[in-house]
Amino acid sequence: MANQKRMPYGADRNRNSKRRYYTYRKASKKSVPVPEKATEKVKISFLGGMNEIGKNMTLYEYKEDMFIVDCGLAFPTSELLGVDIVIPDFTHIKNNFEKVKGIIITHGHEDHIGGLAYLLKEVSIPVYATKLTIGLIRHKLEEHGLADKVKLVEIKPRDNITLGSFNIELIHVNHSIPDAVGLAIKCPAGVIIQTGDFKIDTTPVDGDMIDLPRFSEYGKRGVLALLSDSTNAERPGSTMSESSVGESFELLFRKARKRRIIVATFASNIHRIQQIMDVASSMNRKVAVVGRSLENLVQVGSELGYLNIPEGILISIDAIKNYPDDKLVIITTGSQGEPMSALTKISVDEHRKVSITPNDYVIISATPIPGNEKMVNNVINALMKKGVEVIYENMYDVHVSGHACQQDLKLMIGLTKPKFFIPVHGEQKHLIKHASLAESMNIPSENIYIGEIGNCIELSENGIKKLDDIPSGEVYVDGYGVGDVGNVVLNDRKILSQDGIIIVVCSLDAATGYIVSGPDIVSRGFVFVKENEDLMNEAKELAYSVIEKSFNNKYHDWNSAKNKLRDELSRLMYDRTKRKPMILPIFMEV
């Protein structure tokens, strides 16, 4: 039988046997597809922190319950002329405030708490945060007159908060400010981990390492989604420990010898400030603090026990004139080259209490935030022109990041084992790079979502579904004005900054419309009048002609006359100068 030729199905296997026929019957019932298992769904909306560094704000929603994670600000770019800060658009929150059960703040940096006071002026929502973060928030609320009007609830790592259908556990993480936490968000749809800003520091200054075991425990139980910090997703390796900076400070302080030391750092980095004070104390130098935000943090940090100031080391900025250079350390804001910061003013001799000299030794203990490189370089160049030695960026280990690099980000993914992955807190290039790291950790691309501000997604075991966008965007704060500066105003400011303004002033007879006096031409930021008298005279003659032709004795259309004047003068100025100044006609009736 082994060598017997195998016959195809349907052929006669025995020529003497009857041919056998096989018939196939249709199924008596149509096959019914198995319905998709019903699962609970949770919504996540992004009001900030996507495709940008700063302005972090995330909204979670399950049925009729909502809660918010963080409410930060962003600092204006160079295009936002005159704007002080940028905050999220709170329209969606205000429209649904009765559903919002609370706000949880992950840590005390401005990009996570800076917009809070502006939101709490609009709606009353309880705020939950750790001890130091609450202290910094309370200080901000006092500035806005809200200290007694907001419910502040102090919590600590491993605490659980119930907000409607949500139960949230706080998980301790390392960052460049103490008391930072990540969140394990539990609801009927599953567990969502939001890391907040984090790094993995095995030798932190405060001795309290990130709670990796707790993240791992949730990973073993099952994590529906991970929302993870993407700031350093482009940087390979692991982030250095903050404790390494202290050794660099000691080396640099010795190299300063008889010079006065000025250190610029992030105002919120208490660990960095502590290390500077400790090294200064060991070398018998006094410390003065410059910059309002830095002064506030030193006050709050020392009051709450997060900053141990050696006795007698701290002096006021007014007292620095009483000490020789080799006995002084000045800690200042301005590590990002902000135009109004203390270091920037010092570098251009505009600070009222600190004057720069060649005997100064400046240490910039920070890495420029993406987009700030030019401003930082401007400050460094201004200092060097005055003969000052400047230590910056990677010249020495005077700064380590507070954000996880690639190996640490992959470790977080490996510990939590999420089904879905959403990179947050970063520009587009950071989010995409972080997404590629997740793919390398065997998370399918269809389970990764890269969002934008205003996106609302629905998350369940069955997948991620993008819903209609929610109202979102940027609100500009300029002085006391919130939201009253928009694109029209910014466009006017841009024109004024680039091409200046021409003002045409003319007095007209109210009854006849005839010119009584003028027109007078005033130029600001356009041309120097004394060197362009011919152009100004030509503009004056044109204005006279246009105004005279625009009126008759029966009807005076002031708006039409102004528009005609703008058009004609704008055409003249562009023909002569190729510039387009703003034209502002002012008619006075007499």
Which residues lie across from 457 on neighbouring strands?
A: 44, 466
Is residue 403 part of the annotated active site? The answer reads: yes
Is residue 499 part of the annotated active site? The answer reads: no
Mark 523-544 as b/e (b = at least 16 C-beta within 10 Å).
beebbeeeebeebbeebeebbe
Helix (H) or strand (E) holding 587: strand 582-589
Task: Verify cis geometry, omega within 30 degrees of 0, for the bond prior to 519.
Answer: yes
What do you get for the CA distance between the two ends of the chain, in Å? Answer: 124
Residue among 70, 211, 229, 499 flagged as catalytic: 229
Q: Of 175, 173, 183, which is closest to residue 211 (Cα–Cα)?
A: 173
Residue among 351, 403, 430, 556 flagged as catalytic: 403
d(CA 579, CA 195) in angstroms, rounded, equals: 51
In terms of residues, how long is the chain? 590
Q: State the sign of the Cα–Cα–Cα–Cα dihedral 429, 191, 161, 149.
A: positive
Q: How does strand 100-104 pair with strand 65-69?
A: parallel
Q: How many CB atoms lie within 10 A of CB 136?
A: 25
Helix (H) or strand (E) holding 560: helix 558-577
What DSSP string describes 273-309? HHHHHHHHHHTT-EEEEESHHHHHHHHHHHHTTS--P
d(CA 425, CA 182) in angstroms, rounded, equals: 13
Phi, psi of 83 (to 5 degrees): -75, 135
> What are the Cα distances from residue 106, in Å, to 96, 142, 387, 536?
22, 20, 42, 59
Enumerate residues 6+ apart whose C-beta is below 8 A from 381: none
Do residues 166 and 43 lie in contact, with contact meaning Cβ atoms separated by under 8 Å? no
Do residues 478 and 87 lie in contact, with contact meaning Cβ atoms separated by under 8 Å? no
d(CA 389, CA 359) in angstroms, rounded, equals: 9
Q: How does strand 456-460 pair with strand 42-48?
A: antiparallel
Could you identify the residue written with the tokens 């080391």?
A: 313
d(CA 399, CA 403) in angstroms, rounded, equals: 12
Helical packing angle, 292-303 and 131-143, nearest 10°: 130
The distance from CA 395 to its chain's CA centroid, rounded to whole angstroms, is 27
- 3-state class (DSSP) for residue 392: coil
What DSSP string describes 469-528? PPS--EEEEETTEES---HHHHHHHHHHHHH-EEEEEEEE-TTT--EEEEEEEEEESS--
Do residues 52 and 427 lie in contact, with contact meaning Cβ atoms separated by under 8 Å? yes
Phi, psi of 521 (to 5 degrees): -110, 125
Q: Which residues are catalytic?
A: 229, 403
